[in-house]
Structure 1
């Protein structure tokens, strides 16, 4: 697959988007100890440290998750002392460079009352992690057919000045109609209306999705790794001032 990278040196905040969101626009969803933070577990499964090379940040994360606790973090391939990598997932981060954003007349705003249908669609399509209160992270839009939710897209991480488009999925019986593209454009319209920039993540192996996103105006910014790490309790790190 051929991909084009984009110079995003001015967008370094996206190097650690969960931390930027949890200490910024999503601070009200955060549990934080010093240099480590995580979303409330019924909102999202993500954790973040201020600097993955700072032992003090990992010590704070250890306190946050407790002995034997796990953390879903970005950009870590080798765990520091006192931690082990449980699993790795390779992904890509794409940013909007020429997306045509526009509202969709069939798209409806989804809320807490729609969570059962959202979770049902998520379970059938597996676009990524979604929790009971994820819908509160931003605007989620859906398209229904005969009362049933058949397509979904919404807003997840919100580092200052940026909003991630996530949970893009379509019922298998209704694919091939461009519903996902329409919802991505509609969600992006709301993001741009606030003066923010859309970005998104995709699994590196999902080349079809990456091609689709590139075809509608997203450009690869970087490749990344998503890791699940476990605090082993060994070689416990002492926090230093």
Structure 2
């Protein structure tokens, strides 16, 4: 199922032009995202190709249900993750949401550094459409699309400046991004940390359905 191995589905599909590849293994360029992708059932050769693709001293992040990692890799970090799919009622355009572009990336990186919604790097914006809200010229909230799979597009980088939290901006931007996704006849989905109770509460309140419990596993070739 695509949603159980979303990075591989993206990098062998819509995002294939971005993929750095060796054999059946794929990864995003590091300036875009830290993610590494292996087939659903990796063979020994796939793990060898993953080690060669990453190279010594370089980490990659798997995003999928828990997977046994061979001794040829060192696990640097493992994080529980939950995945949700949006209800049909979610999309709603927002007049205050503006499309962000390359010139906005420095501000987007600063907002991500302040709020830590997950990986967002200098070229992540190339993966999809990002929207934001500005007040007095300052970018105070944003969200966008990242992984593109057959039939599904991921909502990502949902964050709000601490000074403006509690005003419903995250919900509004999630709905606005969902409107972009459904306009392209795709279904929105997203991920958050398994222990992020505030985000999970928000997604439940918006009618999202839990689809998978997953792991982000950051590993490095030995």
Note the 1:213-228 alignment, pairs <5 A. Answer: 213-228=203-218
Partner Cα separation in structure 2 for residue 13 and residue 77 of structure 1: 16
- Is the radius of gyration larger for structure 1 or structure 2? 1
Partner Cα separation in structure 2 for residue 195 and residue 33 of structure 1: 32
For 1:24-73, what per-residue CA distance to the aligned partner results, in whole angstroms no more than 9, with x for missing partners?
11112110111101001111111101134421211111110123432111
Partner Cα separation in structure 1 for residue 88 and residue 206 of structure 2: 7
Partner Cα separation in structure 2 for residue 179 and residue 69 of structure 1: 36
Whether 1:70 aligns to 2:59 is: yes
Report the TM-score when normalising by structure 1: 0.88
Q: State whether residues 66 and 214 of structure 2, in contact with CA within 8 Å, keep that contact through their aligned partners in structure 1.
A: no
The equivalent residue for 2:22 is 33
Q: State whether residues 36 and 61 of structure 2, in contact with CA within 8 Å, keep that contact through their aligned partners in structure 1.
A: yes
How many aligned positions are there? 221
Q: Which runs of 5+ in 2 are unaligned?
A: none
Note the 1:200-215 alignment, pairs <5 A. Answer: 200-215=190-205
Whether 1:159 aligns to 2:149 is: yes
The equivalent residue for 1:59 is 48
The equivalent residue for 2:189 is 199
The equivalent residue for 2:7 is 18
Report the TM-score when normalising by structure 2: 0.96
User: Offset at 1:22?
Assistant: 0.6
**Which secondary structure does the structure 2 equivalent of 1:156 belong to?**
strand
RMSD: 1.2
Whether 1:115 aligns to 2:105 is: yes
**Which secondary structure does the structure 2 equivalent of 1:104 belong to?**
coil
Q: State whether residues 98 and 218 of structure 1, in contact with CA within 8 Å, keep that contact through their aligned partners in structure 2.
A: no
- Of 181, 189, 211, 2:179 maps to 189
